[in-house]
Amino acid sequence: MAFAGTNISLSQPDITQKLTERIDDLNQKIAAWGKRIRRFSEKSRRLNQNRLFQSDQKRLYKSLERPEVCGAGPGPDQADTVAFWRGLWSEPVNHSDGPWMEVVASQSASVTPMDPVTITPEDVAEAVRRAPNWKSPVARRPASLLAEGVRSVSRCARPTVSRGSRSEVAPEPLHY
C-alpha cells in the first residue's frame, strides 16, 4: 500500500486521476473556507465600525485615516503636482468635433425654431387666480405674513410685496 490507511495503491492504473480529483476537492474546500473567513472578517469589521461610529466617531475616523489601513504611502511631491496641473491647464485645447457633429447639425437644420413666447402680467395674474390654494399661498395670505416670509427679496421690493404687488405702488425698477 502506498498510502497507509487507504486502499489506494500505486499499482492501480487510475491513481493519477484519483489523486488529481482528491487534490481538486481539497483545493475547493480550502478556497471555500478562505471565502467564508474573508466574509466573516468583513462582517465583523463592518459591525465594529458601526459600533465605533455609534459610540466614538472621532476614534473611528482616526482609525480610517491610518496609512496601514488605507495603504497610503507618502504623498506626491508638491513640485511634481504643481508641474503636472500647470502642464495640463497651460496647453491649448485641441478638440475635434468629429463627423457625428456634422450629422447632428444637418439633421437639426430642418427644425424650425419655436416662436417666442411673451408672458404678460395679466397672464400671470390669471394663472395665480386659477391656481388652488396650496399652489398659490400669496393670493390667500395677509400681506404682512407674506412680507415676513420673504427674506431674500431686496429692501426696495419688500414694501411692494407687503402692499400686494400693485404696479402703481411698485418702485421704479419693478415696473413692467
What digits encode the pLDDT tens for the residues 11-60? 666 888 888 899 999 999 999 999 999 999 999 999 999 999 999 888 88
pLDDT above 60: residue 120 = yes
| Cell numbers placing 78 | 508638491
Region 52-70: mean pLDDT is 79
Q: What is the pTM of this model?
A: 0.32
Q: How far is CA 150 from the centre of its chain?
A: 32
What is the C-alpha separation between 16 and 38, in angstroms, rounded? 32
- Enumerate residues 6+ apart whose C-beta is below 8 A from 74: none
What is the C-alpha separation between 119 and 69, in angstroms, rounded? 61
Region 59-69: mean pLDDT is 74
Closest residue by Cα to residue 40 from 29, 28, 48, 52? 48
Q: With beta carbons less than 8 A apart as the criterion, state whether 155 and 144 touch.
A: no
What is the C-alpha separation between 42 and 23, in angstroms, rounded? 28
What is the C-alpha separation between 139 and 132, in angstroms, rounded? 10
pLDDT for residue 11: 64
